[in-house]
Amino acid sequence: MQFKAEIHVTLKRTVNDPQGLTIMGGLGQLGFDGVGAVRAGKYIEVWLEAGSRGKAESAIDGMCDKLLANPVIEDYRYEVAPVETSVEEAKV
C-alpha cells in the first residue's frame, strides 16, 4: 500500500531560532509591524510502501529520529495518508 507522509520539523521552543529572527526583521522592514514572533522549520514529503498505516507511521518515526530531525534540538510532527499516486510519479 502506498502512503504519503507530510513531516514538519521545527526547533524546540527552548532553542534560539536565528533564521526566524532574521525573517521577522525582514518582515518588519517590509512594513509588517504586527508580527510578534517567527519560528522557521522544514517541510518534508516522503512517499513509501507499507503494509498498513501503523507500519508507515513506525517507519516515519524511525526516519525522523535517525535522519530527518535532530531530536536534541528539534521537534517533529507528521501526517500519514494512503495515496493513489505511485512512488515513481512522486519523483517527478
Q: What is the pTM of this model?
A: 0.86
Distance separating alpha carbons of residues 46 and 69, to the nearest angstrom: 14
Per-residue pLDDT of 11-43, as tens digits, reads 999 999 999 999 999 999 999 999 999 999 999
Distance separating alpha carbons of residues 13 and 73, to the nearest angstrom: 9
Tell me, what CATH number does 26's domain have? 3.30.1280.10
Binned at pLDDT 50, 70 and 90, residue 92 comes out as: low
Query: Residue 6: how many CA atoms within 13 Å on its side-chain side?
Result: 4
Question: Which residues constitute the domain of residue 67?
Answer: 2-90
- Across the beta sheet with 2-11, what order do the strands follow? 41-49, 2-11, 74-82
Say how many domains are in the chain: 1
